[in-house]
Amino acid sequence: MFGGLVSNPINSPHLRKSGSRPVVFDTGVSELGNSSEEDLLLSLETNEMKGGVTPLSSAAIMPSPLLLWRFKVLLFFIWGFSCCKIGWDSVMRMSADLRDLFLYEAFLYYNPLLLVTMMVWLWGINLWVFAQANVGYAKIFDLDQSHLTHREIWKCATWMTIVVPTSMTAYLYLYSHGEVSLAASQPVLLYTAVAMTLIFPFDIFYLSSRFFLLRTIWRIMFPLQAISFADFFLADIFTSMSKVFSDLERSVCRMVHRQVATIAWFEADSVCGSHAVAIPIVLVLPYIFRLFQCLRQYKDTREKTALLNALKYSTAVPVIFLSALKYHVFPEKWTNIYRPLWLLSSVLNSLYSFYWDITRDWDLSCFTRIFKFSKPHILSHILYGRKWVYFWVIGSNLILRCTWTYKLSAHLRHNYLTVFTITALEMLRRFQWVFFRVENEWNKMNKSNIQLAMMDLPKEEDKLLNPNGHSV
């Protein structure tokens, strides 16, 4: 199986060159067949006497794809176990007082990229389901022929899954063994490699897809043109990753100010500390971008729905800034005045966003699709089609919309494990949101195409009145 010599029968196809005619051996049928068989045996004996080896095809000497896949999975598990073992031993070497502080810092550097990796895996699953359901997502997002498939997305996610934990393990190991300067260089090298991979101008690493992503991000930040579906779709995903962007800002700030693997980062009033004004600003930016997109849509279409959508994103601003006021006002004032306002704005934003997801983004028509399936959808036969799925999606969306405020709250940022869990759950909510949102857009496109086709068909009266094509 692994390339050893194989004794093949005389009439094996591995003994023929590609493109040659197959030789059929039938003993006792014709003299030509016997002659060919004798010549072949003679050539084999000659090769054996000369010490030569009969050339075999690649199928005979290469392992099967299934075997290669199992070997890769085995290597992946060995690598994962090694990272866990080295990381755990490194953390246990530290004192109990330093351990929690150091883990908080290490978590801050690496949890954004871990969550991005998770989102890439989930996006690959989305594309796989769309491909199975024959949903033309390339047409919906206006992608070219060289767009990444779900397999290529998963390949990128696999490399991210390998590189990010490896860098984190090296960071833990070097710091626990006293190599502070080398440990501090690990997140810097990782962030630099990620940035260079995104902006690399040469035709490697999926240049066209990277250019499409960067161009879409630019259009999101500066909505000076008509808003496409890909623009506001990616902007909606960015709103679910606002906590990721906030942690990225804090990590880059510490790298720029050389606070990696030092105790200066823990000072609350430092440039990159937990009281920094930049934290709520970065948290609110994805919602501001989405708000400007809605205003641009209203300018182009004059639809009031765009203004109502803009109002939804504007309700996120009080949630973020009222929460950030805890670090800048007296505790009594926060408890008596700003905390009730924060809770009220949180409930308003969560319920408004939940209503918009169900009725607008998913077009569930005020939950009537739970009980009426008069309009079957494309993905219903594969993923949906059962009432419990709709109950699950609507219920989980409501709960996770409410926990969204906890994730965005600036005064809760020190509970990093809880915030990380809620951020991951928010990405899972966005993951299931994608199915219904793309399905709704695909149905709209199919409906409009059918209407245009019906308009192009000539009416029966026109056929009777038009003499062209008829012999009188």
In a domain, 451, yes or no: no
Q: How many CB atoms lie within 10 A of CB 108?
A: 19
Tokens encoding 340: 């009730």
Q: Coil, strand or helix: which one is 275? A: coil
pLDDT at 472: 36
Q: Is residue 143 part of a domain?
A: yes
Residues recorded for the chain: 472
- 67 within some domain: no
Which residue's structure tokens are 């084999």? Answer: 44
Q: Which residues contact 293 (CB under 8 A, 6 or more apart)?
A: 220, 223, 227, 231, 232, 235
CA angle 138, 140, 141 (to 5 degrees): 70
337 within some domain: yes
Asked if the structure places residue 471 within a domain, the reply is: no
Instruction: Confirm whether 311 is domain-assigned.
Output: yes
DSSP letter for 338, please: I
3 state SS of 103: helix
pLDDT for position 380? 46
Task: Find out whether 320 and 342 touch, Cβ atoms under 8 Å.
Answer: no
Position 452 scores a pLDDT of 54
Q: What pLDDT score was predicted for residue 451? A: 53
* Chain centre distance of CA 335: 39
Q: What is the DSSP string of 108-132?
A: HHHHHHHHHHHHHHHHHHHHHHHHH
Q: Determine the pLDDT at residue 384.
A: 47
What's residue 173's pLDDT? 92
Domain assignment present for 217: yes
Rounded to the nearest 5 degrees, what angle is found at the Cα of 15, between the Cα atoms of 13 and 21?
Answer: 65
The answer to whether residue 65 is domain-embedded is no
Looking at residue 20, its pLDDT comes to 43
pLDDT score recorded for residue 382: 45
Q: What are the pLDDT tens digits along the chain (472 aa)? A: 444 444 444 444 433 333 444 444 444 444 444 444 555 455 545 554 544 454 545 455 667 888 888 888 899 899 999 999 998 898 888 877 777 777 778 888 999 999 999 999 999 999 999 988 888 889 999 888 778 999 999 999 999 999 999 999 999 999 888 888 899 999 999 999 999 999 988 888 899 999 999 999 999 999 988 999 999 999 999 999 998 998 899 889 888 888 887 765 556 566 787 778 888 899 999 999 999 999 999 999 999 999 999 999 999 999 988 888 877 888 888 888 888 898 899 889 999 999 999 888 888 754 444 444 444 444 444 444 566 777 788 889 989 888 866 665 555 556 677 888 888 999 999 999 999 899 888 888 887 655 555 555 455 445 444 555 444 3
Give Cβ neighbours of residue 221 (< 8 Å, ≥ 6 apart): 289
Q: How many domains does the chain have?
A: 1
Q: What is d(CA 351, CA 399) in angstroms, rounded to the nearest whole number?
A: 10
403 near 364, Cβ under 8 Å?
Answer: no
* Domain carrying residue 289: 79-366+382-446
